[in-house]
Amino acid sequence: MARHVVVRTVLGRGVGVRPPKLLWFVMVRRSRWQKRRSPRRFVSSRCLVLGDPRDRRARSLSRPTTPADIDELMPKVSSIGGAASSTLGEPLLVPAAAAPLRAKRLELLDNAKAVLISSVVLYHSAVVYSSADRPEVRMRSSLATLLTGFPMRALALLLTHTARLPSACSMQSPSSPACSR
């Protein structure tokens, strides 16, 4: 049985579709042999449904597409999803349990939001507790402390830590060139 992907689009209103309801696309996923034949095409065919395919009343109102529908809608349809338009040869497909596809989440944006929200919280805290938004304050001393104090202390800590490690000198004989330098 064909697997249907229902995609709700923005074309439902204002493009002259009657009845003026949301326009749904039912794209039939291609079978394996179809993929082998033309791997660049996303779907085998598209059918148009006027109204929500999950709605029984809408399904009863739906009708097979006509050439006029295709002429009117295909230029707009073909620009969606990047798939090439194809003939609507199949009957109207209205799977009962079809659900609209959600756009794929972009982890990049979620990660960016996390960093941004942390910046907002830090900025608000700095504003409330140290008036960082005042031009005359502008966290000058704080930044100086951060940029001078922290790296230097971290460096000192690292050097102290590495000094305790067995050095090249102690691992070798005291007369080695590394110790005489």
Partner 1 sequence: MKLVVMPCFCMISGHLSPATIEDRHARGLVKVLATYLIFQGLYFAMKVVAFTLAGFGVQKLPIELFNPPQQVVTWFLLALIIWRASLPTMLRTRVPMLISLLMAHGALFADLGVNHQNVLSFWPFFVGGALVPRDAWAQLNRPDVRRPLAASFVTCALSLALFSAYAEQRFPTLTTAPDTSMHVLTTTPALFHRYGGQHFHDAFYQLTRTYACFNGSPPDPSGVKLSECSSMRELGRRATFYVASLPLMAGFLCLMPRQSGWLTTPGHLSMYVYLLHPVLLFNPWVLKTTFDALSAHYGREVTVWSPATDGSVFFLLIPASLLACAALSTPWARMLLWPLVEPPIDWLLFGVGPPPTAGAPGAANGAKLPRDVSFVV
Binding site for partner 1 (CB under 8 A): 10, 12-14, 22, 103, 105-131, 133-135, 137-150
Cβ distance to partner 1 smaller for residue 66 or 130: 130
CA–CA dist 16, 74 (Å, integer): 13
* Extended beta strands in 22-78, E state: 23-29, 43-50
Report the nearest approach of partner 1 to the CB of residue 99 (Å).
13
Report the nearest approach of partner 1 to the CB of residue 150 (Å).
8
- 3-state DSSP: the chain helix, strand, coil percent, rounded to 5? 45, 10, 45
Cβ distance to partner 1 smaller for residue 71 or 107: 107
Report the nearest approach of partner 1 to the CB of residue 134 (Å).
5
Report the nearest approach of partner 1 to the CB of residue 174 (Å).
42
Cβ distance to partner 1 smaller for residue 2 or 143: 143
CB-CB neighbours of 53 under 10 Å: 27
Cβ distance to partner 1 smaller for residue 61 or 120: 120
Report the nearest approach of partner 1 to the CB of residue 148 (Å).
8
Cβ atoms of 94 and 101 closer than 8 Å: no
Cβ distance to partner 1 smaller for residue 133 or 155: 133
Cβ distance to partner 1 smaller for residue 140 or 181: 140
Report the nearest approach of partner 1 to the CB of residue 45 (Å).
24
Of 134, 126, 132, 47, nearest in space to 94 by CA:
47
CA–CA dist 58, 25 (Å, integer): 13
CA–CA dist 97, 141 (Å, integer): 62
Q: Give the contacts of 46 (CB within 8 A, at least 6 positions apart).
A: 25, 26, 27, 28, 77, 85, 86, 88
